[in-house]
Amino acid sequence: MARRKYREEHDNHERWLVSYADFITLLFAFFVVMYALSTVNEGKYRVLSNSIVQAFRNVQVNSAGQIPALVPTPLPKASVTNKAQEAFKQKQREKMRNVAKEIMAVMAPLIEQGKVRVLETSRGVSIEINDSILFAPGQAVLQAPLVKAMRSVADVLVPAEFPVTIEGHTDNIPINNAAFPSNWELSAVRATTVLRLFADAGVAAERLTAIGYADTRPVENNELVEGRARNRRVTILIDSNLPERRTELELNP
């Protein structure tokens, strides 16, 4: 059998062209992709721009896709109103605290004796005065030693703008005499007596109200002597809220 001759293969020195061609092709594809990403689709851009403007600014965009100058959106009226109300309430609270401090200063001796209590309530400041130092039993005439102290309280209230309600309270022991047929009349007249002193001292009449509660709002147990003494009182309520405006309701709105 004849032996096949071995043919020596020569090296191909041009194989690098294949790799180079692949590299050039990939590089071309890369630049095509980059160019495509850098090109803005004007139609899609206008749609996106219009949507953003209408959603966040509520601004009408014209047909040419032009966006008008953006105007800062004003705060809702409700938000502005709430902030103004809160600022007003804070100012009123500060004024109320100043009034309370002045009243405590002029009533300090009686507060130390336990005859007067100054309380802060949700409505404002409440001054509870034991009626034993204001009136004789079964009477509605202010006792002389307390007239000066009550006028000092009135002097504090004169420049203030707060409404003042004077409440008369009794214990549950009935009264029946020529002047007062029941505790209702006694409590109401005692409250009115204090009101008249305040009015005479210069407190505006439209700011004053007198109410008689008799024994309907006790603060202690009327079964005890100490409780009944505590319940016989005059309360001066300084209201932190100014009177509200009244609006008449129509029958058929």
pLDDT band of 200, cuts 50, 70, 90: very high
Q: Looking at this protein, which amino acid is placed at residue 104?
A: M
User: Into how many domains does the chain fold?
Assistant: 2
Q: What is the mean pLDDT of residues 147-158?
A: 94
CB-based contacts of 71, cutoff 8 Å, min separation 6: 59
pLDDT score at 84? 79
Do 52 and 144 belong together in one domain?
A: no
Do 69 and 81 belong together in one domain?
A: no
For residue 245, give both structure tokens: 């405006």
Q: What whole-number distance in Å separates Cα of residue 152 and Cα of residue 60? A: 65
pLDDT score at 64? 56
Do 41 and 69 belong together in one domain?
A: yes
User: Looking at the predicted structure, is the pLDDT value of residue 63 above 70?
Assistant: no
User: Looking at the predicted structure, is the pLDDT value of residue 9 above 60?
Assistant: no
Q: What whole-number distance in Å separates Cα of residue 87 and Cα of residue 59? A: 33
Tell me which residue of 162, 196, 183 sits closest to 94, measured CA to CA: 162
Q: Are 139 and 200 in contact (CB under 8 A)?
A: no
Q: Are 111 and 118 in contact (CB under 8 A)?
A: yes
Do 143 and 230 belong together in one domain?
A: yes
Do 216 and 98 belong together in one domain?
A: yes
Q: Are 237 and 123 in contact (CB under 8 A)?
A: yes
Q: What is the mean pLDDT of residues 40-66?
A: 61
pLDDT band of 185, cuts 50, 70, 90: very high
Q: Domain range holding 54?
A: 17-73
User: Looking at the predicted structure, is the pLDDT value of residue 114 above 60?
Assistant: yes
**Torsion, Cα of 224, 230, 233, 235 (10° steps):** -130
Tracing tokens 């307390």 back to the chain, one arrives at 146
Do 44 and 87 belong together in one domain?
A: no
Whether residue 104 lies inside any domain: the answer is yes
User: Looking at the predicted structure, is the pLDDT value of residue 5 above 60?
Assistant: no
Bigger pLDDT: 70 vs 76: 76
Q: What are phi and psi of 191, to 5 degrees?
A: -65, -40
Whether residue 108 lies inside any domain: the answer is yes
Q: What is the mean pLDDT of residues 76-93?
A: 74
pLDDT score at 80? 66
User: Looking at the predicted structure, is the pLDDT value of residue 34 above 50?
Assistant: yes
pLDDT score at 76? 65
Q: What whole-number distance in Å separates Cα of residue 103 and Cα of residue 248? A: 37
Query: Which residues partner with 130 through β-bridges?
Result: 233
pLDDT score at 59? 47
Do 69 and 87 belong together in one domain?
A: no
Which range among 24-33, 41-50, 98-107 shows the weakest confidence by mean pLDDT? 41-50
Q: What is the mean pLDDT of residues 178-204?
A: 95
Q: Are 162 and 240 in contact (CB under 8 A)?
A: yes
pLDDT score at 148? 92
Sheet of 116-120, strand order: 116-120, 124-130, 233-239, 164-169, 208-212
DSSP classification of residue 135: B
Whether residue 218 lies inside any domain: the answer is yes
User: Taking the alpha carbons of 177, 183, 189, 194 in that order, is the dihedral positive or negative?
Assistant: positive
Q: What whole-number distance in Å separates Cα of residue 31 and Cα of residue 170? A: 98
pLDDT score at 149? 92
